[in-house]
Amino acid sequence: MTTNLLDYDLQGLTAYCEQLGEKRFRATQLFRWIHHKGATDFEQMTDLARSLREKLVGTSRVQGPKVVSRHDSADGTIKWLFDVGAGDVIETVFIPEADRGTLCISSQAGCAMGCRFCSTGHQGFSRNLTTGEIISQLWFAEHFLRQHLGREERVISNVVMMGMGEPLQNYSQLLPALKVMLDDHGYGLSRRRVTVSTSGVVPMIDRLARDCPVALAVSLHAPEDVLRDNLVPLNKKYPIAELLQACTRYQAAAPRDFITFEYCMLDGVNDQPEHARQLVSLMQAHATHGLSCKFNLIPFNPFPASGLTRSEMPQVVAFAKILMEAGIVTTVRKTRGDDIDAACGQLAGDVQDRTGVDRRMAAQRQGMLRGIKVVVVNRSEV
């Protein structure tokens, strides 16, 4: 069985080359051929010694993901489905804008978090992706787009770990992938332009701050614990106070001077003026400890199993106004790729659920809906 070199960051590739009896600088040459040029054929790597190329042919491969399908949106968004074996298919999305090209990458086949507004969570969880499976999404998309667009310069300027899965639950495989993204011999992305999104795995937020602090986005979606328990089940383990304390600690190492909080706007659930005022109070309380934040309000992308609907735009605008009048930087995310099910919360791929989450969520759905209605009537939370 040959080794897929996409599984290595530069440090790992250096160790691998040393095992082959090669000097360290050969790893840098090889790394650049793979990531800068997208090469898969060792014979193309003409500045490598022939003896090394012969060793690599017998021991190694550069194997990207198998494309199942590609979908192009009317707005220019592209979604790929990649086969990662054993019946699992993951999704990756490229979002072009005038001043940037953003790639949304998956970290797991499925997701075990079970957030009520996310179709991936309703699909269940199969397994963690390997480092190679994570970075190969960027490797494939970057070199495909260069060829497709007829460009030699870099096309993807931003990466967001906001695809399928909870990145911080696959930390050991995520970390080397992040290092490849940031390495000047890899993709040379700035820490400000690589974002890890998490539903709030507190211990791993602290580890990321120590190991590889990139931009952090936190899926908040509620201003208090009762409501967030229903929307983001992980909150029962790491409640809001603990999560915001971790965010405050992270900010000291973060490449940006704020933490982004994502807030999915759900009609009649978390979008009322009182919810906005609760958010203001919550953020002002933590600002005294050094937390600076930005809010990204996300239009919900409905799917039948959720039992939820999208907030009307006037409600979203009124909600945003309350936050902005309190001095909180607030944006409303523009929905992209929804005609190809590539928008936020829509990525579902096709995975072999090993968790039985769909059955469990179906059994709980009616009770959860009743619980949320009580919260909204009593606390009017958005």
Residue 177: count other Cβ atoms within 10 Å of its Cβ. 31
Query: For residue 293, what are the β-bridge partners?
Result: 259
* Entry pTM: 0.89
Q: What is the pLDDT of residue 123?
A: 85
Q: What is the pLDDT of residue 361?
A: 53
pLDDT confidence of 358, banded at 50, 70, 90? Answer: low
Nearest Cα residue to 127 out of 166, 154, 155, 91: 166
pLDDT confidence of 182, banded at 50, 70, 90? Answer: very high
Q: Token pair 């390997």 is at which residue?
A: 130
Q: Which of 104, 212, 264, 344 is catalytic?
A: 344
Q: Token pair 């397994």 is at which residue?
A: 127
Nearest Cα residue to 176 out of 351, 16, 347: 16
- 354 neighbors 126 (Cβ within 8 angstroms): yes
Rounded CA gap, 45 and 151, in Å? 21
Indicate whether 347 pLDDT > 60.
no
Token representation of residue 58: 């017998």
In residues, how long is the chain?
A: 382
Rounded CA gap, 48 and 273, in Å? 63
Residue type, 5: L
Per-residue burial over 23-53, b = 16 or more CB atoms within 10 Å of its CB, e = otherwise:
eeebbbbbbbbbbbebbbebeebeebeeebb
**Residue scoring higher pLDDT (245 or 380):** 245
Report the run of H or E that residue 295 belongs to, with start and end. Answer: strand 293-299
HSE toward the beta carbon, residue 226, CA cutoff 13 A: 15
Indicate whether 237 pLDDT > 70.
yes
Report the run of H or E that residue 365 belongs to, with start and end. Answer: helix 357-379
Indicate whether 250 pLDDT > 80.
yes
Token representation of residue 361: 């969520």
Rounded CA gap, 116 and 24, in Å? 48
Q: What is the pLDDT of residue 337?
A: 56
Indicate whether 345 pLDDT > 50.
no
Q: Which of 91, 133, 142, 166 is catalytic?
A: 91
Q: How far is CA 328 from the centre of its chain?
A: 24
Rounded CA gap, 282 and 193, in Å? 27
Q: Which domains does the chain have, with CATH numbers?
A: 3-61 (1.10.150.530), 66-379 (3.20.20.70)
- At 266-324, the pLDDT tens digits run 999 999 999 999 999 999 999 999 999 999 999 998 888 889 999 999 999 999 999 99
Token representation of residue 229: 């328990």
Indicate whether 186 pLDDT > 90.
yes
Token representation of residue 118: 């996310």
Query: What rounded mean pLDDT belongs to the chain?
Result: 90
Q: What is the pLDDT of residue 234?
A: 98
Pairing status of strand 89-97 against strand 78-83: antiparallel
Indicate whether 16 pLDDT > 80.
yes
- Whether residue 142 lies in the annotated active site: no
pLDDT confidence of 371, banded at 50, 70, 90? Answer: very low
Indicate whether 95 pLDDT > 90.
yes
Residue type, 164: M
Report the run of H or E that residue 240 belongs to, with start and end. Answer: helix 240-251
Token representation of residue 261: 């909080």
